[in-house]
Structure 1
Amino acid sequence: MLMKLHIQGLNFSYGEKKVFEDTNIDLSADKITVLFGKNGTGKSTLLKLIAGIERCDEGDILFSDKNGSIFAPKGMIAYLGHKLVLKEELTVEQNISFWSDFYQNTLDENNFRLLEIDRLRYLNVSELSQGQKKKLAFMRVLLSNKPIWLLDEPLSNLDMDSTETIKKLISDRISADNLVLVTSHTKSIFSKEQIITLGN
Structure 2
Amino acid sequence: MTMLSVEGLAVSRGGLPVLEGLDFAVEAGHALVIRGPNGVGKTTLLRTLAGLQPALAGSISIPPESMAYAAHSDGLKSTLSVRENLTFWASVYATHEIEPALERMNLRGLADRAAMSLSAGQKRRLGLARLLVTGRPVWVLDEPTVSLDTASVALFADAVRTHLAGGGTALIATHIDLGLEEARVLDLTPFKAKPPEEGGLKGAFDEAFL
Q: Please tell me the TM-score bracket, short chain as reference.
A: 0.7 to 0.9
SS at match of 1:172: helix
Q: 1:126 to 1:188 in 2, by over 3 A?
A: closer
1:145 aligned to 102, 124, 135, which one? 135
Instruction: Find the aligned partners of 1:196 and 1:129 in 2 and give their Cα distance.
Output: 32
Q: Within the alignment, does 1:119 sit opposite 2:118 as a pair?
A: no
User: What is the CA-CA distance between 1:136 and the residue it aligns to?
Assistant: 0.6
Judge conservation of contact 2:157–2:178 (CA < 8 Å) in 1: no
User: What is the CA-CA distance between 1:109 and the residue it aligns to?
Assistant: 2.9
SS at match of 1:135: helix
Aligned residue for 1:179? 169
Q: Within the alignment, does 1:195 sit opposite 2:185 as a pair?
A: yes
The unaligned stretches of length 5 or more in structure 1 are 64-72
Q: 1:21 to 1:126 in 2, by over 3 A?
A: same
Aligned residue for 2:17? 18
Aligned residue for 1:7? 6
Q: TM-score, normalised by structure 2?
A: 0.82
Alignment of 1:37-186 (within 5 A): 37-63=36-62, 73-175=63-165, 177-186=167-176
User: What is the CA-CA distance between 1:16 and the residue it aligns to?
Assistant: 5.6
Aligned residue for 1:66? none
Instruction: Give aligned pairs, total.
Output: 190
Q: Give CA deviations for 1:86-143 in whole Å, capped at 9, x if unaligned.
A: 1112111211221232223243535413422112122211111121111111111100
User: What is the CA-CA distance between 1:28 and the residue it aligns to?
Assistant: 2.1
Instruction: Find the aligned partners of 1:100 and 1:11 in 2 and give their Cα distance.
Output: 34
Judge conservation of contact 1:92–1:121 (CA < 8 Å) in 2: yes
Percent identical residues = 29
Q: 1:53 to 1:145 in 2, by over 3 A?
A: same
Instruction: Find the aligned partners of 1:95 and 1:103 in 2 and give their Cα distance.
Output: 13
Amino acid in the other structure paired with 1:79: Y
Which structure 1 residue ranges, 4+ long, deviate > 6 Å from structure 2? Answer: none
Instruction: Find the aligned partners of 2:163 and 2:104 in 1 and give their Cα distance.
Output: 16
The unaligned stretches of length 5 or more in structure 2 are 191-210
Instruction: Find the aligned partners of 1:117 and 1:176 in 2 and give their Cα distance.
Output: 22
User: What is the CA-CA distance between 1:173 and the residue it aligns to?
Assistant: 1.5
User: What is the CA-CA distance between 1:51 and the residue it aligns to?
Assistant: 1.0
Instruction: Find the aligned partners of 2:35 and 2:185 in 1 and give their Cα distance.
Output: 7
Amino acid in the other structure paired with 2:38: N
User: What is the CA-CA distance between 1:15 and the residue it aligns to?
Assistant: 3.6
Q: Give CA deviations for 1:157-191 in whole Å, capped at 9, x if unaligned.
A: 11111111110110112258422111112446312
Instruction: Find the aligned partners of 2:178 and 2:129 in 1 and give their Cα distance.
Output: 24
